[in-house]
Amino acid sequence: MGTRKGMSVSDQVKQHTGAEGIHWNLSDLYNDIKDPAIDGDLKEADQRADALAESYRGRIGQLDAEEMRDLLEQYEGVRELIDKIGSYAYLHWSTNTEDTARGALLQKATEYGSHLGQKLLFVDLEWANAPEDHANVLMANPVLEGYRHWLEVTRLDRPFLLSEPEEKILVEKSVTGRNAWTRFFDEVHGASRYELDGEQLTQQVVTNKFYDPDRAVRQRAAQSLTNGLHDLGRTTTYIFNNVLADKASDDRLRGYPNWITARNMSNQVKDEAVEALINAVTSNYGTVARYYNLKRRLLNLGELFEYDRYAPLPSADSFHPWEQGRDLVLRSYGSFHPRMEEIAGMFFEKNWIDAAIVPGKSGGAYSHGVTPSVHPYIFMNYEGKARDVMTLAHEMGHGVHQYLSRDRGVLQADTPLTTAETASVFGEMLVFQQMLATEDDPTLRLSMLTGKLEDSFATVFRQISMNRFENSAHTARREEGELTTERISELWMETQRAMFGDSVTMTENYGIWWSYIPHFLHVPGYVYAYSFGNLLVLALYARYQEVGGDFPDAYVTMLSAGGSDWPHEIVKPLGVDLNDPTFWDHGLKILDDMVGEAEDLADQIG
């Protein structure tokens, strides 16, 4: 049940993984939470923002190329300080969300970030509204080549911008609006405990039991999660409604035509391109049903339930200590390109990873790019399972990507979400292929293949089904008003059953499981980017197998480009055309062929 009781001994990883002592060292940012440099940097950022406004406010539309470059260099400097403080506060808080002092620093950083964001807002607004002819001349000037794409993208917002006073109000209110609700969600779910077999466990520990080979354990874990989420249902539903309403209000004020347009613009893709992706994936839902019907037979079950989806095959119960997982990732990255292995090695050698499972730590995993002047940090909860090795490979891909793109600066280091998942999923593919290449036993190969298929389905098909849920939820909130828990659960079940067809029985318990997924709140509309990235990687890896040769060098060059150009231009040298409306069919065909390979292996084993 969802409570705030302390973590029991079973909340710890009982089997020693070697990751128990893997904690990151944040001293490259600040020494500790009381470091006076934090307040010093806040003060300096405030002074720099004031000086910037005094020098340039009201003049951006008339600046020449050299003046614009000087402005942007100073602007990046202020942003660096803000991002450094905010990154430290978030990283430190996520390893213990129950520590009120850490939460207070995170809130302080958020409020200061909003305050300074308002002071700097004029830069984006004045540039977006600069005369078209003058803007085009500046963007074509070689002096501004290092900022060209940021200048292009910022002007896309022009039709949807409000006046500066109105924009400032939106920035100010976001601190106590959506940002506050998402933090509240994280803390409520981070502190909740779920009763399972007489013990109080965290959500992360309970959901990990869905991978247990014992069906009775999986079933009890599913009931425990359901009970706990129902206990939190009223709170979560209220948070969810407020975030949906907040986004509807922003979209209405700005004049966006639909709920997903702002996200698509941020991702630098057109609504039509995203619609083509969604239609391609949903029209291939039959591949999902085909696979899970195979899995039901492999598990020798008469009926497959939602808690059986991640059940390992009998031969798949393997354990990977931290050192083994580390070595596998480094070896796989190094076999592709030495530069990738070199960068990945720094994460381990310099303590840029936090992998231990401890009380109060957030669930899940991420790689935080921090700022170009520092380096990324990787966050995860390592239990020694094969999927944890894949998670390490995934987040390391992000980390390598973020490290390589640092030279692009604050404004152009980050990629849009659509291509942000490219390096991470490609990293997973490298590790998977390394593991597969060293295994001759068809039973184990089948186990590995089904595991990879399930990961791919989770990032291609499931994310699109969640996009369909988001679409239904945002639409219903705008048309029907405040939604009940039951109504949101109804929308969830409709969109999830559409994906599985008759291959998986979704019980009524599953109806509340939408309520623990943070993506819907943190970044509305984000989830389709996983599908975009995974299908892109399938195409890229197929291209690598086809041409080999200079592909690894071209790939590292692509990662180094960060967000300095349009996504379709960045991947073009690798032989991929994102503007081809049939592009998605290639990756979907590869997944369907993998299901066929699994079926053949199953027949071979008998």
Q: How confident is the model at residue 316 (pLDDT cuts 50, 70, 90)?
A: low
User: pLDDT grade, residue 170 (50/70/90)?
Assistant: confident
Average pLDDT over residues 500-519: 95
Q: What is the pLDDT of residue 13?
A: 44
Q: How far apart are CA 1 and CA 200, in angstroms?
A: 8
pLDDT beyond 50 at 12 = no
Q: In which band, very low, low, confident or very high, does the pLDDT at 315 lie, cut at 50, 70 and 90?
A: low
pLDDT in tens, 84-93: 999 999 999 9
Lowest model confidence (mean pLDDT) among 25-34, 94-103, 317-326: 317-326
554: pLDDT strictly greater than 60: yes
Alpha-carbon gap, residue 377 to 87, rounded angstroms? 10
pLDDT at position 14 is 56
pLDDT in tens, 221-245: 999 999 999 999 999 999 999 999 9
Mean pLDDT across the chain, nearest whole number? Answer: 91
Q: Which CATH number fits domain 316-458+528-605: 1.10.1370.30, 1.10.260.30, 1.10.8.100, 3.10.20.30?
A: 1.10.1370.30
> Residue range 14-18: average pLDDT?
80
Q: Where in the chain do CATH 1.20.140.70 domains reside?
A: 32-176
Pairing of strands 353-354, 377-379: parallel
* Predicted confidence (pLDDT) at residue 1 exceeds the cutoff of 70: no
Binned at pLDDT 50, 70 and 90, residue 162 comes out as confident
Residue 200, SS3?
Answer: strand
Find the mean pLDDT for residues 460-465: 96
Q: What is the pLDDT of residue 196?
A: 95
Residues of the chain with CATH 1.10.1370.30: 316-458+528-605
- Determine what percent of the chain is predicted with pLDDT higher than 70: 97
pLDDT reported for residue 317 = 58
Reference 68, options 157, 116, 130; nearest CA is 130
Confidence band of 577 (pLDDT split at 50, 70, 90): confident
302 burial level (CB within 10 Å; 0-12, 13-18, 19+): exposed
Fold of 32-176: Butyryl-CoA Dehydrogenase, subunit A; domain 3 (1.20.140)
> pLDDT confidence of 6, banded at 50, 70, 90?
very low
* pLDDT at site 179: 87
Q: What DSSP letter does each residue of 422-440 carry, written as one string? A: HHHHHHHHHHHHHHHHT--
Q: How far is CA 13 from the centre of its chain?
A: 25
| pLDDT over 90 at 367, yes or no | yes
Q: How much is the average pLDDT of 454-480? A: 95
Which of 367, 399, 375, 409 is CA-nearest to residue 78?
A: 409
| pLDDT (mean) for 308-312 | 92
- State the Cα–Cα distance between residues 119 and 456, nearest whole angstrom: 43
How would residue 130 be classed by pLDDT, with cut points 50, 70 and 90? very high
